[in-house]
Structure 1
Amino acid sequence: MATPSELIKLDVCLYKKDDVSYEDFIEWITKTYAQEVIPIMKKHGMAKWVQTVNPPHFREPFRQQLEDMKRPLWTVPDYDIVHTYYIRGHDVLNGLRGDPKWVELEEEALKFCNMSIGHIVIGHEIVHFENN
């Protein structure tokens, strides 16, 4: 039986601002933001960071598939991106939140991200199968 990873997995699901195009948002968050934030994450001991982009053209077809599968109450959220952070402990998050450069980047993110809504999932990953 698989056991949970010792790493904490934190998914942060974000929406872009309505007045920002999807293309501009993805360009900024996966390139500009990523380039600036990675050294800060490394400095504070983050184990791994992954971004999952959620293109709008993926969402509606999958909503239809759910309907075809007779799952009318299931949803496909309109998140534009999901950040997945793998950390060894909550002290990593505390270090990030206290870092002046992180705070500066969070301020910049307000230009692109709708921070009035979002979603967080936190737990441990259990890998049952991985085919390398």
Structure 2
Amino acid sequence: MADKPVKFAITHYRLPKHSHEDFIKWIVEVHIPKAIPVFRKYGVIDYTLFVTPPALSDFMNQRVQGSRPTWDVADYDCVIEYIFPSIDVIDKIMPDPEWLEACADQFDWVDVPKALVSLGYATTYFQKGEAVVLPK
């Protein structure tokens, strides 16, 4: 398990004192530039910011009310997804002083107690209009 790439995802809500746009701008313009050297240091394979603007959440909420009334539409501001070369990288990054510096102002922006994390494996089965990695 330790030597297989893993996907780590974390949802983030902004603190209410910030707009969604300012929150995403902070992530992109302040946090990510500080984090990239750490990613390189530990061989992070991928980092993706999945932005979920309130207008799109509202749109989706309206659509599922009629067709899927039991579904809840997520209302977080973004999901950050990492692909780590191994699960061990998580334990190396978290205490790294450069990473702690990259995250130092998160309590000014992120509603940290509401974060939700996931860890697992990702396999792509359909990409760029084509089926890939299908079972035989």
Q: How far off its partner does 1:79 sit? A: 0.9
Q: Distance in 2 between matches of 1:122 and 1:49?
A: 14
**Of the candidates 14, 21, 24, which is equivalent to residue 12 of structure 2?**
14
Q: Is the contact between residue 31 and residue 103 of structure 2 (CA under 8 Å) also seen in structure 1?
A: no
For normalisation by structure 1, the TM-score amounts to 0.89
Any idea what the Cα deviations from partners look like across 1:14-43, whole Å, max 9, x if unmatched?
000011121211111012111111111110
* Structure 2 residue identity aligned to 1:23: E
Q: Give the distance between the partners of 2:126 and 2:21, measured in 1 at CA.
A: 34
Q: CA RMSD in A?
A: 1.3
Alignment of 1:74 with 2:71, yes or no, is yes
Higher RCO (C-alpha under 8 Å, 6+ residues apart): 1
Q: 5+ residue gaps in structure 2?
A: 130-136
| Partner SS for 2:128 | coil
In 1, Cα distance between the equivalents of 2:16 and 2:42?
32
Q: 2:93 aligns with which of 90, 93, 96?
A: 96
Per the normalisation by structure 2, the TM-score is 0.86
Mapping of 1:1-132 within 5 angstroms? 6-69=4-67, 71-131=68-128
Aligned length: 126
- Could you tell me how far apart the structure 1 residues matched to 2:87 and 2:126 are? 27
Contact 2:8 2:81 in 1 (8 A): yes
Partner-residue secondary structure (3-state), 1:110: helix
Q: CA deviation at 1:127?
A: 1.2
Q: Is the contact between residue 8 and residue 118 of structure 2 (CA under 8 Å) also seen in structure 1? A: yes
Give the superposition deviation at 1:104.
2.0
| Paired letter, 1:20 | H
SS in 2 for 1:82: strand
Gaps of 5+ in 1: 1-5
- Partner-residue secondary structure (3-state), 1:63: helix
% identical equivalent positions? 27
Q: Which whole-Å CA distance do the structure 1 matches of 2:106 and 2:17 have between them?
A: 14
Q: Which residue of 1 aligns with 2:133?
A: none
